[in-house]
Chain A
Amino acid sequence: MEPLTWTGALGTFLNPIFTVTLLSLALAVVGYLVLNFIENAQLAFGGPTSPPQQMQNSAVLLTTILPLVVLTLLLTAIYLLAGIVLPYGAAGIVGELGVRMLPVWIALAATFYLSITYKRRLGLYGKLFDSPIGMIGFMIVMFWVFTAIFVEMNLILTHDPLAQVSGMKNKLPGTPLRGAEDGDYAHYLLGGDNLARDVFSRVVKGSQVVLIIAPAATLFAFMVGITLGLPAGYFGGKLDTVISFMANLVLAFPVILLFFLLVTPEIRAAGIQIPGTDYIWRVPTILASILFLFPLVFFVVLFDSRYFTEPAKRNLYVGLTVLIGGYIYLGMAWDADPFGIISIDGGVLIVFVSVVFVNSPTVFRIVRGLVLDIKTRDYVAAGQTRGEGPWYIMLWEILPNARGPLIVDFCLRIGYTTILLGTLGFFGLGLSSESPDWGTTINSGRRLLSVFPHPAIVPAIALMSLVLGLNLLADGLREESLKD
């Protein structure tokens, strides 16, 4: 089997065109920025003497950028999709990657087609498609979401992400699999890492770890922050002072130090022995049992304050919350699910808990600030005059009106949590060293970085792109939500 080159046979005639296009695009963009800057400066500092038509220099250059962008995108699409029609290997590594990712492209195209068609009926989500920045961000995020989903359906992986193949250690991208049999995928598309595992499969598999833990941890942090921030902002006084002091305490704690102290095997072994029993209440369980209680409390109060005038409905909703939530709570925090379905591995639990712990004070501060602002509004005063309870006002009148900034912050915070998870992986804390998540993979790849950079660069770029996508998405959402 021949080693694959990056662009294969396709590259021989496409590469020169692509290089020329890309170069001229780069020149045009840089030229535009410089010209625009100079013209802006002349306009700003040159006084009234400089004629305004000088702006046209950069405007002329601007007209060439759009066709060049379209051409570049078109060529990129050809590179990525040519592998579908060409025989195996002819389109090179890029082409074969495109073929492996085919389900993702189809799902992305379908999502965008449907969303843009019906965008006027989709509220804030639909408005996202008016903002180019938000659309790009959404596309990157959905790319990774679909990747994670299709990996679970076994459509993308080329090899087992944990399997080591002898002779493939630190091999460059496109190296043929040694001793490949029928049915094996013939190449390591993005090379092998220092334990001879397939880099491509590990990266796409790692997206699952990140995309499950990061949003879930952020959601829990929001539950904790909202449940504490609402009363602190609304009631104020001593309650506010105490909670704020505790939040500031956590915020003053250097994150990295907290991780090093909290996410260690020793801490997982430490705990309090419950008197009279053999049960040891371990530190992760202690923290989890406190932090995971907040969502439960949140939903119970949410339904109770809304339906307390209709006892039948209230009992139904609160009962269901306690039943379902309690079941999940038992499984997640105490590892005591009576049916044995829900359980979290100890290493993942402590990572999850510490990430929630680090994030919730910031959310608390944001919610508190929003409540302090919103509670001076007239509709809150009207609610108070109607005799509505404080929790009803907080949860059903203040919270929905604070949703805009909270949604934006939620997106940003998922990105930040992804970075935190990567940091944990980078220091080899928490998750097992075999885990394909991006931080751990970067950590194992960095030792040989100056000789074999590909095992560390691929997950690094993956992580960066996901965070970038989330940040762009948040930016687009903020812009669109401000337009109302």
Chain B
Amino acid sequence: MGMFILRRVGVMLLTALCLTFIVFFMTNLYPNLEKLAKTQGNFRMSDEAVVSYLTREGYTAPLSVKYGRWLGVVPNHVYTDEDGKTTGKCIREGVNTAETAPKYCGVLQLEWGYSTVFKGDAGEIIFKRLGLTGWLALGAFAVMIPVALIIGVLAGMREGSRMDRTLSTFSIASSATPEYVSGVIFIAVFASSSFGLKWFKGSATSAMEDFTWANITLPIATIALYGVGYVARMTRASMAEVMTAQYIRTARLKGVSFGNIVIKHALRNALIAPFTVIMLQFPYLLTGVVITETLFNYKGFGWMLVQAASNNDIDLLLGGSVVAVVVVLLTQLISDIGYVFLNPRIRIS
């Protein structure tokens, strides 16, 4: 088991390195840097001015050196202009000077860099936004998982029955409704003046300070709806498979009531597969969060990623992708380990 986890963590680190390098490569393509220089300076910058800006900020170094700097394994970029003033990533006025500033200044030293869009420390911004998104995601999961599991178990316990058909059709319909469709329909029906039902608010900006029934219901419903269908279908398939197992037939022949069979015998084994699926839902949740936060103007992690990407805010984008990739890989790891623990057949052998 220890070896297994160790190997998985190793692969995970390698994957994270590869992925951040890809993001790094893409954000550091010359047209992107040019755009960054122009948004930081002005849009009528001459080509020479762009080059001098990029040199000052250290963007003209070779890609591997820049990546090493960002990681914190290569000494940081410092630039001394004609007046003898030295600037660099970790040199901050009033805090330290060029001499006392740390030489290595990267992610490994927990320095996430400077966000050019929000004008602040990228690390702080990311964790603040992540906290906001955490609440939204928590709400969405708290709705999605119980609903999906109940639908899946009810549909799967009698495969082919009318209840199964109805609930399966519902879950198919829900997985055919992406967030931008359900969100648009929800806002139009429940928050616009044209239908007259002004039950909820079409914007969740106020939910960042304080959750109320009116401002958070629609975003949560939007995220949860798309996920419900998929998890419910997986649960149904797993439940239906378990219900055909030999030991269930034995229990039936012994005269155990159907309710007891479902709850005491079938459920535990039927929930192993959905656990994996739920864990693997996290990466998809990110897309949903980005869409929902944009649609409802909830300024969380997804909204931040959109802002960072459309302004080529390199440090923020890299930090955000590290977080996203780590979340994805961690959930994969947890799902693998959890699967081993939950499944006695694998655990014991």
Contacts and interface: CB of A to CB of B under 8 A. Distances in A.
Interface of A: 33, 36-37, 40-41, 43-45, 47-48, 133, 245, 248-249, 251-257, 260-262, 264, 266-267, 269-270, 283, 415, 419, 422-423, 426-427, 439, 442, 445-446, 449-453, 456-457, 460-461, 463-464, 467-468, 470-472, 475
B214 to A, nearest CB: 14
Chain A interface mostly: helix
A266 B29 CA distance: 8
A44 B262 contact: yes
Contacts of B177: 464, 467-468
B80 interface: no
B324 A257 contact: yes
B60 interface: no
Contact of B294 (A43, A427, A468): A427
Contacts of A415: 176
Contacts, number: 161
A261 B26 contact: yes
24 contacts: A36-B162, A133-B165, A245-B15, A251-B283, A252-B325, A256-B286, A256-B287, A257-B320, A266-B312, A267-B29, A270-B30, A270-B32, A423-B287, A423-B291, A439-B180, A446-B180, A446-B184, A449-B188, A450-B192, A450-B193, A450-B202, A451-B192, A468-B172, A471-B176
Given A257-B309, A445-B184, 14 more contacts: A33-B163, A48-B257, A253-B19, A255-B283, A256-B291, A256-B305, A257-B320, A266-B34, A270-B30, A283-B29, A419-B178, A449-B187, A456-B184, A467-B178
Nearest to A251: B283
Interface residues of B, number: 64
A426 B291 contact: yes
A463 B18 contact: no
Contacts of A460: 180-181, 184-185
Contacts of A36: 162-163
A261 B27 contact: yes
B185 A257 contact: no
B31 A257 contact: no
A260 B35 CA distance: 15
A445 B180 CA distance: 11
Interface string B1-36: 000000000010001001100110011011110110
Given A133-B169, A423-B287, A426-B180, A45 B30 contact: no
Interface string B174-198: 0111101100110110011111000
Identify which of B23, B30, B175, B332 gathers the most chain A CB atoms within 10 Å of its CB.
Answer: B175
A424 B33 CA distance: 23
B63 to A, nearest CB: 13
Nearest to A415: B176
Contact of A452 (B194, B286, B312, B328): B194
B262 A261 contact: no
B26 A267 contact: yes
Given A36-B163, A270-B32, A426-B291, A252 B329 contact: yes
A451 B175 CA distance: 28
A449 B312 contact: no
Contacts of A457: 184-185, 188
Contacts of A261: 23, 26-27, 309, 317
A442 B180 contact: yes
B339 to A, nearest CB: 16
A19 to B, nearest CB: 17
Given A40-B163, A267-B31, A450-B187, A427 B306 contact: yes
Contacts of B267: none
Interface in B137-193: 158, 162-163, 165-166, 168-169, 172-173, 175-178, 180-181, 184-185, 187-188, 191-193
Identify which of A45, A255, A256, A270 gathers the most chain B CB atoms within 10 Å of its CB.
Answer: A256
Interface string B297-319: 00000100110011010000100
B329 to A, nearest CB: 6
Contacts of B195: 453
Given A45-B259, A270-B30, A446 B18 contact: no
Contacts of A422: 178, 180-181
A439 B163 CA distance: 34
B135 interface: no
A256 B162 CA distance: 38
Contacts of A249: 15, 18-19
Contacts of A47: 257
B114 to A, nearest CB: 20
A15 B236 CA distance: 40
B325 A253 contact: yes
B212 to A, nearest CB: 18
B290 interface: yes
Identify which of A37, A262, A442 gathers the most chain B CB atoms within 10 Å of its CB.
Answer: A442
Identify which of A251, A253, A267, A423 gathers the most chain B CB atoms within 10 Å of its CB.
Answer: A253
B294 to A, nearest CB: 7
A37 B287 contact: no
A266 B31 contact: yes
Given A266-B35, A450-B191, A464-B177, A254 B287 contact: yes
A266 B166 CA distance: 48
B259 to A, nearest CB: 4
Contacts of A45: 257-259
B181 A472 contact: no
A262 B181 contact: no
Contact of B181 (A41, A251, A253, A463): A463
A464 B310 CA distance: 28
Ranked nearest first, the 8 interchain pairs of A and B with the lowest CB-CB distance are A453-B188, A260-B309, A45-B259, A468-B176, A266-B31, A44-B258, A467-B176, A270-B29
Contacts of B169: 133, 472
Contacts of A44: 257-259, 262
Contacts of B269: none
Contacts of A475: 168, 172
Interface string B252-296: 000001110010000000000000000000010011001100110
B87 interface: no
A470 B173 CA distance: 11
A451 B194 contact: yes
A422 B226 CA distance: 14
B321 interface: yes
A451 B193 contact: yes
Nearest to B194: A453
B129 to A, nearest CB: 15
B24 to A, nearest CB: 10
A270 B294 CA distance: 28
B31 A270 contact: yes
